[in-house]
Amino acid sequence: MVALVSERWLLIAVVILLSGELRIGDGRRSRSRFTNMQCISFNESFAVFTKCKLNLLGRGRTGAEMYLKLLQLPIDNCWINWSIYRRYNGFRPFLYNVSTDFCQLMGNSKVLSFQGLVINAIMTKSNLNHTCPYDHDIILDNLEFDDEFLKNLPLPQGNYKVELRFATDKIWRVQVSCFFEREEL
* Per-residue pLDDT tens over the stretch 79-127: 999 898 999 988 998 878 888 888 888 887 666 666 777 777 788 888 8
DSSP string, 104-154: HHHHTTT-SSHHHHHHHHHHTTBS--S-SPB-S-EEEEEEEP-GGGGSSS-
User: pTM value?
Assistant: 0.77
The residue ranking higher by pLDDT, 50 or 134, is 50
Nearest C-alpha neighbor of 79 from the set 9, 172, 11, 142:
172
Yes or no: say if 105 and 87 are a contact pair by the CB < 8 Å rule: no
Yes or no: say if 174 and 23 are a contact pair by the CB < 8 Å rule: no
Which pLDDT score, from 0 to 100, does residue 20 have?
45
Least confident of 2-6, 21-25, 100-104, 134-138: 21-25
Cis, peptide link before residue 93, omega less than 30° from 0: no
Sign of CA dihedral 86, 139, 116, 132: negative
Name the H helices within the chain.
2-22, 102-107, 114-123
Q: Is the pLDDT of residue 16 over 80?
A: no
Yes or no: say if 163 and 86 are a contact pair by the CB < 8 Å rule: no
Domain 31-184 CATH class label: mainly beta
Confidence band of 153 (pLDDT split at 50, 70, 90):
low
The residue ranking higher by pLDDT, 1 or 117, is 117
Nearest C-alpha neighbor of 184 from the set 155, 153, 152:
155
Question: Cα separations (Å) of 10 from 3, 4, 24?
Answer: 10, 10, 18
